[in-house]
Amino acid sequence: MEKTYKIEVDCANCAAKMEAAAKQVEGVADAAVSFMTQKMKVTFAQGTDPAAVMPAVLKACKKVERDCEIEF
C-alpha cells in the first residue's frame, strides 16, 4: 500500500536524510521525500497498518530535523 503525506521540510539535504531515516522504520518498504512539493510518499510492507507505522516515521524524521511535521 502506498500513501502520500504532506510534510514540512526546510531543505533538500534534510529531505534526503529524512527519506533515508523513514526507510529504516519497520513496516516501511520504501519512502520518497520531495522538498519541492513538500510531500512524502510511503510504501508500506504487506499487511502493515499505516496508522501504526507513521508515528515511528515521524519520530525518525524528527531525529533529522526537530521541527519536521507530517500530516497523517
Could you tell me the pLDDT band of residue 19, with boundaries at 50, 70 and 90? very high
CB hemisphere CA count around 19 (13 angstroms): 16
Number of Cβ within a 10 Å radius of residue 10: 11
Q: Indicate the helix (H) or strand (E) that contains 16.
A: helix 12-23
Mean pLDDT of 40-44: 98
Cβ pair 70, 5 in contact under 8 A: yes
Q: Percent of the chain having pLDDT more than 90?
A: 97
